[in-house]
Structure 1
Amino acid sequence: MNSPLVSVVMPLRNAQFTIEKAIASLRRQSYENLEIILVDHASEDNSPALIKKAASGDKRIRCFRQEGSFVEAANFAWQSSKGELIARMDSDDIAHSTRIENQVGLLAAQPQLSACGTLVNILKRGEDGQPIPPEDGYKRYEAWINSVVTHDQILTERFVDSPIPNPSAMIRRSVMESLGGYQDPLWAEDYDFWLRLLEAGHKIAKVNQRLLDWYDGETRATRTLGRYDLSRFQVAKSHFLKRIPDILQLGVVICGAGPVGKEMGHLLSTAGVKVQAFLEVNERKIGNQIDGIPILDSGELSHFFGRAVVLGAVGQKGGRERIRMLADGCGFLEGKDFFCVA
């Protein structure tokens, strides 16, 4: 098999307690033709000294300092690399020893893929620094994100949540360049990247193995920066949903008049998308209105076939599958004229 150079790029900040283990996991990779690009993003702890020490002992490692925004650091990292394939990694995660080898193998076996990820173990660190299982919410998220593996699954469920754990990503350099790297929207730059990549017609899949230990720490950017708030993810979803031609032309009908459906309806209406109706199973809600839009019985879904795109927007357990069954029974095709959002 051809062995292209892989650039593992890692922007980091204040990671003195985790960076050495993260780097060690990369140095143990079974795939040898790689370089490791470490970009310190204005750390105030001992991180700069630790990455310099790592670089002094391994010629594959290059380290830099970048004083701009996190997105600027992430872009600087891959732009400073030389590899044909660019692998992302975070400073508090652990890559399993065959991660890079398996991802290179998948992209070689399926040249139609522009990028790939892996399955993950989502973990927390206890007070002693040892890994512990996450809370129930993250267990459900781990189950979901590990269930979307093929390109069709990822494409279909891209509005549920970000379908690729960013620290597990490997991207062809040519694709990264064609998309201009990461942009700096109001929402998460990695989710934005994947939605733009899919919108442009690129294909993604995952190695069907758990090859990354993905740690949820209290100081992780996803917990501390506003761009990663759930409300910002909803704005991102509405932004890309409104760019789907059938949604622009026909509008939507939203299955679910609870908090998720209400918020998505408001965002889409504000963006100029026609929300024709909300559909509900709760008899107490049927017959009411939300911002002047009627709430109808879910049994009326078939009347909207060919007249609107259906959005399944429910948060309760099992609700998404019930809407899928209803939409399928009415002839809607998920990923074409029916999408689940969460």
Structure 2
Amino acid sequence: MSNPILTVAMPTYNAEKHIGEAINSVLNQTFEDFELLIINDGSLDHTLEIISSYTDPRIRLIDLEKNKGIAHCRNLALQEARGEFIAWTDSDDLNEPTRFEKQIYFLQHNPDFGGCGTWLSRFKDSKTHYVTKAYSNPEKIRAALLFKPASIPNATAMLRLAEIRKYGLRYNESLKISEDYDFIFNCSRHLKFSNIQEILYRYRDSETSIMKTFEDQEEQTFNILKTVYKKALASLDIIATEEQLRLHHDICSSKILSKFSEYEACYYWLESLKLKNDLKREYNRKVFNHIITEQFFFLSKKASSFGLKTLWFFVRKSLKNKWIINPKDYSKLAVRCALKYDKFEFKLT
């Protein structure tokens, strides 16, 4: 039998509650020429029994006796995949029926792209509470990866496998929660990416998810993510100090700023990144300034508890740097600052 066009890789560990739904969302795709490579990472519950109950010949199971971790499973999938393309899916998430059809179509008609992702929605029970809208422009994606992994949501990524193997790209098995960010950043140094501007993946927020485990442990999260920050900043010839790495993390995370001086320090760090890129031209200058502008707005939202002082600082510095302020964003920030809002999420209706 000939190899399939696509390998869909699903690492899993103790996923008995939702893995059936996840498998069904793959098997019910409109695109059918794939293998579903499930790697059972030493599950201790009934996950293996549920997988084994399926008779679809497209399912291929690798059963590990001991738990090796998500990065190990992803590397094993990269090694064992038989498809021309590989797509990831988590064992508690859901794929929209046309996801693979639309990503395959994009990659087959754009041979200069090494991969593409999609938008994703986050849900709990049956309620969607957040949508990640990632860029389609490859230059914006590349520049935005300096700050955030969601520029290519790893769970939605479909990759051209020959390119991944050509450059020896693998997941760092020493990283606990940022192995996906690290991998996608490394890929972006070699491959051109885009994102389909449509929600084709549904990410389940659960109490057992890895990110849920770490989200309240700020220091531990920083110590893990700074490995990737160092590499990203090195692209601008910056050998970042511990203090600079913390500033960078303060900008990237959803942490609310407690002192106005922290807000100012983060702004000056953003300004220094802009000046570095102006000199090195690692990233398209216009695109990079757009990304910096977005990060400054994101940062200012986290400083809105300081009131109109933040709004005035935001306007002055934006005008000084010729960073174009989106009127809608300005209105949102103005309301937040007027209310001295001290939480991250805020909707202006």
> TM (normalized to structure 2)?
0.68
8 Å contact from structure 1 (residues 89, 166) kept in 2: no
Q: Find 1:158's aligned residue among 145, 158, 175.
A: 145
**What are the superposed Cα offsets for residues 34-86 of structure 1, whole Å, 9 maximum, x if unpaired?**
110001011111000111112xx111101111222321122112322200100
Q: How far is the alpha carbon of 1:124 from its aligned partner?
A: 1.1
Q: How far is the alpha carbon of 1:247 from its aligned partner?
A: 2.9
8 Å contact from structure 2 (residues 15, 47) kept in 1: yes
CA pair 241-25 structure 1, distance change in 2 beyond 3 A: closer
Q: Secondary structure at the match of 2:53?
A: helix
**What are the superposed Cα offsets for residues 185-238 of structure 1, whole Å, 9 maximum, x if unpaired?**
43511100011112x232111111111111111111222369996414640343
Q: In the alignment, does 2:162 pair up with 1:174?
A: yes
8 Å contact from structure 1 (residues 95, 211) kept in 2: yes
**What are the superposed Cα offsets for residues 229-274 of structure 1, whole Å, 9 maximum, x if unpaired?**
64146403431234224435xx89xxxxxxx97823799xxxxxxx
Q: In the alignment, does 2:30 pair up with 1:30?
A: yes
The amino acid across from 2:182 in the alignment is D
Q: How far is the alpha carbon of 1:327 from its aligned partner?
A: 6.5
CA pair 51-154 structure 1, distance change in 2 beyond 3 A: same
Q: Find 1:196's aligned residue among 186, 191, 197.
A: 186
Q: How far is the alpha carbon of 1:326 from its aligned partner?
A: 4.2
Q: In the alignment, does 2:222 pair up with 1:231?
A: yes
More helix per residue: 2
Q: Which moved more, 1:95-104 or 1:169-178?
A: 169-178
Q: Who is 1:78 aligned against? A: 78
Q: In the alignment, does 2:57 pair up with 1:59?
A: yes
Q: Who is 2:202 aligned against? A: 213
**What are the superposed Cα offsets for residues 108-140 of structure 1, whole Å, 9 maximum, x if unpaired?**
121111111111111112xxxxx1233xxxx3x
In the alignment, the residues of structure 2 paired with residue 295 and residue 189 of structure 1 have an alpha-carbon distance, to the nearest angstrom, of: 28
Q: Find 2:301's aligned residue among 317, 326, 330.
A: 317
Q: How far is the alpha carbon of 1:308 from its aligned partner?
A: 7.5
Q: Who is 1:17 aligned against? A: 17
8 Å contact from structure 1 (residues 6, 86) kept in 2: yes
CA pair 106-318 structure 1, distance change in 2 beyond 3 A: farther
Q: How far is the alpha carbon of 1:330 from its aligned partner?
A: 3.7
**Structure 2 gap segments, 5+ residues each:** 251-258, 281-288, 304-309, 324-349
8 Å contact from structure 2 (residues 247, 266) kept in 1: no
8 Å contact from structure 2 (residues 121, 199) kept in 1: yes
**What are the superposed Cα offsets for residues 155-183 of structure 1, whole Å, 9 maximum, x if unpaired?**
12113321222221101112222233212
CA pair 285-219 structure 1, distance change in 2 beyond 3 A: closer
CA pair 297-241 structure 1, distance change in 2 beyond 3 A: closer
Q: Who is 2:123 aligned against? A: 123
**Structure 1 gap segments, 5+ residues each:** 126-130, 253-259, 268-281, 287-293, 333-342
Q: How far is the alpha carbon of 1:9 from its aligned partner?
A: 0.3
Q: In the alignment, does 2:173 pair up with 1:184?
A: yes
Question: Over aligned residues, Cα RMSD in angstroms?
Answer: 4.0
Q: Secondary structure at the match of 1:20?
A: helix
8 Å contact from structure 1 (residues 188, 232) kept in 2: no
Q: How far is the alpha carbon of 1:184 from its aligned partner?
A: 1.9
> TM (normalized to structure 1)?
0.70
Q: How far is the alpha carbon of 1:305 from its aligned partner?
A: 4.8
CA pair 133-295 structure 1, distance change in 2 beyond 3 A: closer
Q: Secondary structure at the match of 2:31?
A: coil
In the alignment, the residues of structure 2 paired with residue 233 and residue 261 of structure 1 have an alpha-carbon distance, to the nearest angstrom, of: 15
Q: Secondary structure at the match of 1:113?
A: coil
Q: How far is the alpha carbon of 1:317 from its aligned partner?
A: 1.2
CA pair 65-112 structure 1, distance change in 2 beyond 3 A: same
**Number of residue-to-residue matches in the alignment:** 283
Q: Which moved more, 1:93-102 or 1:176-185?
A: 176-185
In the alignment, the residues of structure 2 paired with residue 88 and residue 62 of structure 1 have an alpha-carbon distance, to the nearest angstrom, of: 15
More strand per residue: 1
The amino acid across from 2:222 in the alignment is S
In the alignment, the residues of structure 1 paired with residue 139 and residue 315 of structure 2 have an alpha-carbon distance, to the nearest angstrom, of: 16
Q: How far is the alpha carbon of 1:26 from its aligned partner?
A: 0.7
Q: Who is 2:113 aligned against? A: 113
Q: Who is 2:246 aligned against? A: 263
In the alignment, the residues of structure 2 paired with residue 296 and residue 221 of structure 1 have an alpha-carbon distance, to the nearest angstrom, of: 28
In the alignment, the residues of structure 2 paired with residue 5 and residue 159 of structure 1 have an alpha-carbon distance, to the nearest angstrom, of: 32
Q: Who is 1:279 aligned against? A: none
Q: Secondary structure at the match of 1:207?
A: strand
8 Å contact from structure 1 (residues 305, 330) kept in 2: no
Structure 1 vs Structure 2: percent identity of aligned residues? Answer: 24
Q: Secondary structure at the match of 1:106?
A: helix
